[in-house]
Amino acid sequence: MGRRIVTVETTREAWDRVFFKKVAFNLADDEDFRHAVTTTSFCPGFKINCAKVIRTQRLDARDALNKEWNDKRLVRVAELGSSFHSDGWRSKRKKKYHNFILLTPDGPFFITMHDVTGESGTGAAIAAEMEAVINQLPPAVRENLILGLTDTPSANRTAWRILEEKFPHMIWAGCMAHEVSLLFKDYKTKIPELTALFKNAVEIVKWVNNHDDILQLFRSVTADKFKDDARAQQKSGIGLYNPGDTRMATLYLMMHRLIELKEVLEQVVHAPAQVVNDEVRRMSYDDMSQKNMLAYNRQCKDDEKKYKTMSNNSTKLKDRVKELIKSDEFWSLATEFLQLAQTPFWLLRLVDSNLPTLSKVYYSCCCVDKLLRVEKAKGSELAAKMHKIFLSRWDRWHRPVHTAAYAFDPAYVSHKLSDGEVEEVQSVLKRLYPAKWYTIFSQWKDFKHQQGAFTTDTLPGLETIWSGVDTKPAWKFWDGIPIGDDMVDARKAGIQLTARASAASCCEFNWSDLDDIIGKRRTQLNTETIEKLARNRAVHRLKKSVATIDCNKKLPTLELMIDLELQKAQSSAVDFSEAEDDIIGSDLDESDDAELDLEADEEVETEDEYDEAEGDINVATRHHGYSTRFSERS
C-alpha cells in the first residue's frame, strides 16, 4: 500500500484547527516548535505520544538524562569553581518556592527547587535547607564551591552566618543586582526632591498612557519625530515607561525615557486642532485635556482628588501635567538626577547578569563614589544627598571577597593597594585556602609587581596574554598563563575568584521560566513535575550556551564609561584645592612616584582621611583603587 499523500491545503487546515482551538498563536514562531516540526518531517514513522505518556514516562526519562548531563558537566568544570545561588518566588496562586542554582563559567546549572508554602522563613530554616542541597552535590563540586549569593533580608543574613560555620571554605555575600536596586529605591524614598520627581514623572506617564485620545496624539508625534528609529516601527512605538514595566531602577529608566521624549511631550501639549475642509479631524490637546478632566470629575466621589479650576478662569480646569511639562525646574532636576545616577545604573547593568563580574564590583563602586564626590565638591546638593546614601549602602553590601577578586583581576594590576585592602585579601585567602594561603599570597605579590613567574623574560608568551586583559574575562588570563607546578595554587585562586558572578540574577531568570510553565491553566502541577520542567528548560538553554560559548566575550565596559564621566566632571570643575577638604582627598592625583610594598609585615602608606557628618571614613581602605587608570601597567 503506497504512502498517503496529503495536500498542502488539508495540512494547513489541520494546523489551523490546532492554533484556533487552544494553542497560542505565537507558538508558530517558537524556535523549538518549528525545529520539532521540521525534524518530524524527516521521520515518517514517528508518532506523538499521548498526554499521559508525555507527562510521565517521557518527562521522567528526559529528566534523568538532564540530571546525568548536569552532573558530568559540573564535574568537568569543578576546578574552575562555582557559586551557589538561591532565591524565593511566589506564584499567582500564592505558592512559595525556593530555587537553587550553581553558576560556573559555562553558565547556570539548575540543581533543585522546593515548595516552601507555609513553612518557616527563619534564618535557621533557610540555612538548613541550603545545607541539605549543598551536601547533595558531587564531592568534587562541593570542594570547589567558594561563594554563596542571595538577596539580603535579615533571615538570609542570619543564614549566611550559620552556613559559614558549616562550610568554612565558603563566603556568603549579597546579590549586587538587588543591592544596587535598593540603592535606587533609597534615592527615591529618602531624598524629598527625588520623591517629588518620581511622583511627577508617574503623573505624566499615567496621564498620557491612560487616555486614548492623548495617547494617539503622543504616538503620532513620536512616529513623526523618530521616523528613522527602528523602535518607532513597532506596534506601540516609542512609549513612556510605566512604574512597573522594569524589574529594577524604575526611576532612572522612567526619567531617561521622559528626557528622551521631552520635545515630543512639549509638542503634544501645544498641539492645535487638526482641521480638514472645515471638519475637525482631531481636537486640540487643550480640548482633550479638559474633556478627560471633566469626565474624571464626574465619576470621582472624593472632592479632594477632583481637578480644580484655574484661578484666572473658573470655567477651565487646571492641567497639572501640562504645567509640569512646561516647567524648567522639573526638567532641570530630572537632568541632574540622570547625570548623577548614570554610573550607579551602569553598575547595575554590569552586575545584573551571569557574567563573571565579581572582580569588577569593588573598582566600579570606587568610580561611582568618586563621581559623586566630584559633583558634591562642585556644590551639588543633590550629589551630597545621593553620596551619603551610597556610602550607607556601601557599608551594607561591601565584603572582603570583592576586594580579593579585584586584587586578582589583571586589568587592575597597576593599582596600588592600601594596607586595609591587603588585609582583606589575606582574610579571604585564609578562609578559602587555609593550608596554602601564604603561598598564594606570596605568588600574588609577584603578580602585582610583575616579577617572578609573571615577567616576559620568564614566560616569552606572557606579553600576548597581558594584551587581552581589558577585553577578556579575568579568569581567562589566569587559565591561560603557561606557568609551572609551583604556581598552580595562585592560578587556582585567580581563576576561582575572578570567574564568579556578583549577582543571583540566574535565579530571577529561572523564575521567568516557572511563570511561563505554570501559567494560568497549569495550576494543578505538583512541585516534582514543575521541577522537572524547569530543569529541562535550564539544561536546554545551557546546552545552547555551551555550544556557542565565546571565550573572548567582552564584558560591559563600565570602567571606561565611568572614567570618561570622571574626566568630564574634573575638567569642568572648579579648583579642587579650594573645594571642601573633607570631600576630595589626595586620590585625585595620578602620581605613580611611590611604590607599594605588599609585604604583610610592613606598614603601607595610606592616604588622608576625610570627615563625613556621621564620622571619619578612611579613603585608602575603601576607595583607593581609582588613583591610577585601570589600563595602565608598570
Spatial distance between the Cα atoms of 420 and 509, rounded to a whole number of angstroms? 36
Residues 473, 442 share a domain: yes
Candidates 381, 297, 370; CA nearest to 332 is: 381
Residues 527, 458 share a domain: no
- pLDDT of 37 reads 80
Helices (H), 398-461: 400-408, 419-432, 437-449
Spatial distance between the Cα atoms of 125 and 338, rounded to a whole number of angstroms? 42
Residues 255, 157 share a domain: no
Spatial distance between the Cα atoms of 553 and 550, rounded to a whole number of angstroms? 5
Q: Which residues contact 527 (CB under 8 A, 6 or more apart)?
A: 97, 113, 114, 115
Flag whether 254 is in a domain. Answer: yes
Among 283, 299, 332, the domain boundary falls at: 332
Flag whether 374 is in a domain. Answer: no
Residues 233, 327 share a domain: yes
Spatial distance between the Cα atoms of 189 and 298, rounded to a whole number of angstroms? 33
- pLDDT of 134 reads 94
Q: Which three cell numbers stand for residue 354?
A: 551571569
389-398: b (≥16 Cβ within 10 Å) or e: bbbebbeebb
Q: Which letter does DSSP use for residue 185 in this model?
A: H
Amino acid at 399: R
Candidates 321, 264, 312, 326; CA nearest to 292 is: 321
* Contact of 369 with 387, CB cutoff 8 Å: yes
Spatial distance between the Cα atoms of 343 and 386, rounded to a whole number of angstroms? 12
Spatial distance between the Cα atoms of 170 and 130, rounded to a whole number of angstroms? 13
Domain count of the chain?
4
Spatial distance between the Cα atoms of 82 and 143, rounded to a whole number of angstroms? 10
Q: Which letter does DSSP use for residue 307 in this model?
A: P
Spatial distance between the Cα atoms of 498 and 296, rounded to a whole number of angstroms? 57
CA distances from 346 to 253, 286, 557, 558 (A): 12, 39, 9, 6
Residues 532, 489 share a domain: no
Residues 530, 406 share a domain: no
Q: Which three cell numbers stand for residue 300?
A: 470621582
For 237, counting Cβ atoms within 10 Å of its Cβ (0-12 exposed, 13-18 middle, 19+ buried), the class is middle
Amino acid at 411: A
* Helix (H), strand (E), coil (C) string for 252-321: HHHHHHHHHCHHHHHHHHCCCCEEECCEEEECCHHHHHHHHHHHHHHHCCCHHHCCCEECCEEEEECCHH
Four-point Cα dihedral 125, 127, 128, 129, nearest 10: 90
Find the domain containing 241 and state its range. 183-332
Among 287, 308, 332, the domain boundary falls at: 332
Q: Which three cell numbers stand for residue 309?
A: 479650576
Residues 210, 113 share a domain: no
Flag whether 347 is in a domain. Answer: no
Residues 511, 445 share a domain: no
Residues 239, 192 share a domain: yes
Q: Which three cell numbers stand for residue 511?
A: 523564575
Flag whether 274 is in a domain. Answer: yes
| DSSP string for 33-62 | HHHHHHHHHT-TT--PPPHHHIIIIIHHHH
What's the whole-model pTM score? 0.80
Residues 162, 64 share a domain: yes
- pLDDT of 629 reads 29
- pLDDT of 500 reads 92
- pLDDT of 601 reads 33
Instruction: Give the neighbor-by-neighbor strand order of the sheet with 145-150.
Output: 107-115, 96-104, 82-90, 145-150, 171-174
Amino acid at 155: A
Q: Which three cell numbers stand for residue 626?
A: 581609582
Spatial distance between the Cα atoms of 541 and 543, rounded to a whole number of angstroms? 6
- pLDDT of 572 reads 59
- pLDDT of 465 reads 72
Amino acid at 316: K
Flag whether 110 is in a domain. Answer: yes
Spatial distance between the Cα atoms of 371 and 567, rounded to a whole number of angstroms? 9
Spatial distance between the Cα atoms of 317 and 286, rounded to a whole number of angstroms? 10
Flag whether 600 is in a domain. Answer: yes
Q: Which three cell numbers stand for residue 59?
A: 518527562
Spatial distance between the Cα atoms of 275 and 139, rounded to a whole number of angstroms? 77
| DSSP string for 613-629 | TTEEEEHHHHS-GGGS-
Q: Which residues contact 291 (CB under 8 A, 6 or more apart)?
A: 213, 283
CA distances from 125 to 83, 116, 173, 393, 410 (A): 21, 10, 18, 27, 40
Amino acid at 537: R
Question: pLDDT of 460-509, one tens digit each?
Answer: 666 777 777 777 788 888 887 776 666 788 889 999 999 999 998 888 77
Q: Which three cell numbers stand for residue 226?
A: 523618530
Flag whether 415 is in a domain. Answer: yes
- pLDDT of 58 reads 83
For 595, counting Cβ atoms within 10 Å of its Cβ (0-12 exposed, 13-18 middle, 19+ buried), the class is exposed
With both helix axes pointing from N to C terminus, report the angle between 419-432 and 437-449 in degrees, rounded to the nearest 10.
140
With both helix axes pointing from N to C terminus, report the angle between 505-518 and 527-547 in degrees, rounded to the nearest 10.
120
- pLDDT of 245 reads 58
Flag whether 534 is in a domain. Answer: yes
Four-point Cα dihedral 57, 63, 64, 70, nearest 10: 170
Q: Which letter does DSSP use for residue 595 in this model?
A: P
* Contact of 354 with 108, CB cutoff 8 Å: yes
Spatial distance between the Cα atoms of 287 and 293, rounded to a whole number of angstroms? 10
Residues 251, 107 share a domain: no
Spatial distance between the Cα atoms of 503 and 355, rounded to a whole number of angstroms? 9
Residues 167, 278 share a domain: no
77-98: b (≥16 Cβ within 10 Å) or e: bbebbbbbbbbbbebeeebebb
Among 332, 356, 378, the domain boundary falls at: 332
Amino acid at 459: L
Matching residue, cell 485620545: 213
**Which residue positions in the chain have pLDDT lower than 70?**
1-6, 15, 17-23, 232-233, 235-236, 244-247, 275-280, 312-314, 452-453, 455-462, 483-486, 519-523, 545-634
Q: What's the distance, Cα to Cα, between the start and end of the chain in Å?
A: 81
Question: pLDDT of 529-584, one tens digit each?
Answer: 888 888 888 887 777 766 554 433 444 455 565 566 666 666 655 444 433 333 32
Helices (H), 81-143: 123-135, 139-143
